[in-house]
Amino acid sequence: MRLRSLLKTVIQRYGTLALLVNVLAGVLAGPALAAPVTILALGDSLTAGYGLPPEAAFPVRLEQALRSEGRDVRVINAGVSGDTTAGGLARLEGALTAGPDVAIVELGANDGLRGLDPKLTYGNLNTILDRLGAKRIDTLLTGMKMPPNYGRAYEAEFTAIYPRLAAGHKVVFYPFFLAGVAADLHLMQADGMHPNAAGVDVVVAHILPSVRELLDRHAAGFARVKP
């Protein structure tokens, strides 16, 4: 009855045409536009864009690639050059104030280069994934490989950290962040450790399927459960 009375009042005051215009305007406006999906890229120099202009950094190029596919995203560059997994863990709470929907964790290379105990690296990454999971933030974990500087045993133990964590936390897993780049000097900077701008584009192209999986998981609703 209230609706009928309201319609009668509108028609009496403004006429049928005005009513139709208002109804059509509401239909055409539709629901409010959703906010972009915010991706937190938590990492070290490989994420930060060491040696590159800001526009060539991994988070920027990843955002551009995803937007070119029609995905409404915002990628936050939370990379710090020289950072270890301990540093990433220490920064995590501050990074989360940006309110990310999903996260990419790219950490560990500096642990390996310094010969840190893989058990410490595992523990730090495990805590990072625990905290992201507690906040229901779907996560993509990127793996890292080490040259055999510290021996084959260390290399094997370090490399095994990532698939073990990914399986335990049920996160999206990309085995090697520098896949397709690390062995190509044309895609690396002079230090042989960081990708150049062309190399970053290769990294983005290779990791895109995993990022799409991450975003699709988010769209379907958080479902990560640690056994």
Active site amino acids: 45, 191, 194
Closest CA to 110 of 80, 139, 153, 140: 80
Burial 106-140 (b: 16+ CB within 10 A, else e): bbbbbbbbeebebeebbebbbebbeebbeeebbbb
Q: How many residues does the chain have?
A: 227
Instruction: Scan for tokens 């073990």, then name that residue.
Output: 164
- Burial of 78 from C-beta contacts in 10 A (0-12 / 13-18 / 19+): buried
Can you give the C-alpha Rg of the chain in angstroms? Answer: 23
Return the number of other C-beta atoms located less than 10 Å from residue 180's C-beta: 15
DSSP 204-219: HHHHHHHHHHHHHHHH
Helix, strand, or coil here: 140? strand
The CA-based angle 153-155-159, given to 5 degrees, is 120
